[in-house]
Structure formats: C-alpha cells, structure tokens
Structure 1
Amino acid sequence: MLQVCLNGSRSRAECPHLPVKAAEMAVSAREAVAAGAVDIHLHPKGPNGQDTLEATAVAAAVSAVRAAVPGIPIGVTTGAWAVPDPYVRVAQVRSWTVLPDHASVNWHEDGADEVAQALLDRGIGVEAGVYSGTDAAERFLGWSGARRVLRVLAEVTETTPREALRAAAGLLEELRTSAAPTLLHGEDAAAWPVLRLAASRGLQARIGLEDVLHLRNGEAAADNASLVREAHGIIHDGA
C-alpha cells in the first residue's frame, strides 16, 4: 500500500507549490492517485495556512478530495501542533460534520488515548503514529485499544540516512508484537532510503511533500505525483 501525504505542516515558504486550499488538495490527490497512490493523508489548513482541526476546514478538505478521488480512503492529522490542548482536540474530533476514513494520532503526545477513542467512537479508523526516539511504542502497545487501529505509522524522525535506517530497524523491533499492519516512512534526506527499506520488508509505505521535497536524484519535486510515481517504481518494479 502506497499512501500519499499531500502537505503536512509545511508552509508555502518551504514549498511554493504546496497544496493548501481544499481545491488544490483535490487536484494534487487526483494526480497522485493516477500516479499510483491508493490512500491519502492530508492536513486541513485554516485561512492563515496553518494546520487546523476545525470542523469547517476538515469538511472542506475531505469533501473536495473525496469528490476528486471517489473510493480512495482519506485521512487527516490530529497533531498536537494544530491544537495543543488534548481536551480541545477531542472536542473538535467530536464536532466534525464530514468524517475522514481515518486519522493519525501521535502516541508521544498527551491525550493520544482519548483522541483515538473519540475517533473510534465516530467510526473513523486510527493510524497510530509511533515516532522513533520517543516512548510512543511502549505507550501505544500498552493501550487497551491497540488491536483496534487501522495501522501503525512507524515514523522515523532521524534525517541522516544511516541513522534513519538504524532507527527504523529499532522501531520495527519495538513494534514487533503489534497486530496491526505497519506503514514505515522517513523524512527529508532519509525518506527514500526508508521507503526502500519498507518495500524490501513488504511494509506499507508513504511519500509526498509532507515527507520530502526532492526526488532521489536531488531534483526538486514538481508535485506529489512525481514523488508517488518514483516511489511506485521502487515498490512495484524495484526501480
């Protein structure tokens, strides 16, 4: 399974062609699916271009993308950087009027259990975000609902390729008792080496402008579709 991560918490200052508005996300999602993505992760943005969990922004983003790629699962973030107070995050999840198919919950953040339960209560799949270099794996595996998640996002935060591959191996070992499918991914300079590792182990993978702004050859990626096309070749053709 190859997921595209359309934008992340990045800004236009980092990437001038980052899809920020709902209509832009819809176009980017359509192109990425045509290039080989089969699942979508996005960060709804407010008028200021910052990540938000506010119901109107979530509805606009999810509705636009769903219309562009009917039948493709769509997920959103619940990151604490968007809403630091976990009680407010839970309240906002419960206020959503248009529901994504899944949402990521970062297990090193306070309130992860409560946010995940709010998602499950609404019939939204949970992607359990487990960051390397944190105690998230232990916290997640100790949660009573760990067997109910859609997948585990094994998120490698080290950006030097050699360190990232070492961290990825350690993180996968920590998660060895998890019953859920694992999606392994890295970021920046480590994104491509970690994606190759995921492919070699038969794990789910993701790529997109949230994770990396360059192709393997160092050339700036024109869009999410170009990243997905290259990742699809690695996964399916060994390119």
Structure 2
Amino acid sequence: MKRLIFTIIICVGTSALLAQTTPADSTHTATDTVHKKRLRMKLGMGEDATVISSGPDTAYHARKAPGFSFGVTFSRIDLGFATLIDHGSFTLSPNNQFLSYRQWKTSNFGFDLVQFGYRFNSAFKIYVSGGFDWTHIRLRRDITIQRNAPVLTYTEDDINYSKNRFSSSYLRIPLSFYYRGPEDASGNHFRLVAGPEIGVLLNGRVKQISEENGKQKFNDDYHFTKLRKGAFVRVGYGLMGIYAKYYFSDMFENSPAQAGLKNFSFGLTLGF
C-alpha cells in the first residue's frame, strides 16, 4: 500500500510540474482554469474564484473573503520517513538497541479528513483539523514485542522474519497557521503552514511474515504514548511540498528504559 501511495504522489507531482512549464506570457483558457479549480477542490484546496472571459483571453482572480469555514476534506497527505531520536542522538542507546530498524523501510503516512478555521484574508488563515497518522518501524532483529507486559519488552525468536513491523496509529489534531504567497503567472502559490499537533493513540500493532508462521498480526497499545504532543511545518509550491514533524513527547510511556526516545518524521506532502 505504501508503494502504491508513493507512486500516486509522484505521478501527481510530475503532472503538476509539467503543467507549470508553460511560458509566462501564455494565456489560460476557461477550460484550463475550471480543471485547475476542480483539482484543487479534490485535494482539499478549494477556493472562491471568478473567471472573467473577454474574447480569447481569460483572467482568473482568487477571491478570499474573511470568515469562518467548516467542512470535510482529504488533504495534507503526508508520506515520508520516520526516524527515532534517542536523547538527541540518531544512534540508539543500549536500552533501545532491540528497536534497531531499517531506515528506508521505516515510514510515516497521514492525512486530514475534517477542518474548521477562520480566514483573515487571501494570504492568512488559521484552522484546526482532524485526521489519522501511522508510523511503521521495520525492525532488523528477529524479535517479538510482547503484549500486555508491564514495560516494553520482547523475546528473541528462532525464526527468520521476512517482515517484522512495529507500528502505531494515532488520531492527529493539528492547529495550523497558514500563509499563502501571491499568485504567479501559472496560477500557483508559495505556501507555508506550521503549528502544534496533538495525537491520540488508536492502536499499536506488530506484523510479522515468516515461512514458519506465515502472516501474523498482534494488536496492543505496546506502551505507545496515549497523548503525544509535537509540532510540524509544511512548505511548498502548487500542489506539492515537503513536511517535517517532531514530537516532544516520548514515544513510549510507563516504560522507564525508553524514556527520552522520540519520533521525527519528514517527507513529501500533497494537497495543502
């Protein structure tokens, strides 16, 4: 699923870049403007607009009136890498060596589904949104994280796992401060979004695949922090951008050996 989502984002991003290579002095047809507006609406980037046509030339004017808004959306789609930071270091301490992971297969994925906000003008708005966020840690060692244990613990297994993934899923609730730059000749904007985010734990999961046992899934909270706090930033142009998220809360709670272990994620974002 991760590969499919990544492919979709790359394809959309490539299409957007190709669409932006038209000369600056070229005119936009009414059909092109309508298609662009529909694409923005599908990706949660809807905006009020007026299309003024006079002969062969068409002008597109964004109209952003101040006021409150609420709606269902599918936007701020994040796909990137997750990194564990142990007391400020990218190297895991001896207490956390059992969480040694494959960086290129350790991922973060998330999106927003609902938002409520206030727009001050065409450039600035503030909104709170709700969505989901997953972190998938691809473990290197053949171990099994134990369920219902008093602290985070594991067992060494005499099994060669082709996949050993340790995951968490959260309800994410970010508060976003949004800035949008002036529209350029291609009808696109520079965008900057930043703010705090809280997450409410939904579930933890261990997923393993081996020849001996086939595919197995085990659900538990695994001592993941139930209410995590962090901050994020997104910056980009047009539909595509990059993001980074850092959580001030420890990844795990009620497990003293993992105190100081935190999560940092970064990657591509779409539809913000």
Q: TM (normalized to structure 1)?
A: 0.25
Q: Which has the larger radius of gyration?
A: 2
Structure with more contact order per residue of length (Cα contacts < 8 Å, sep ≥ 6): 1
Kindly indicate which of the two structures has a greater share of residues assigned to helix: 1
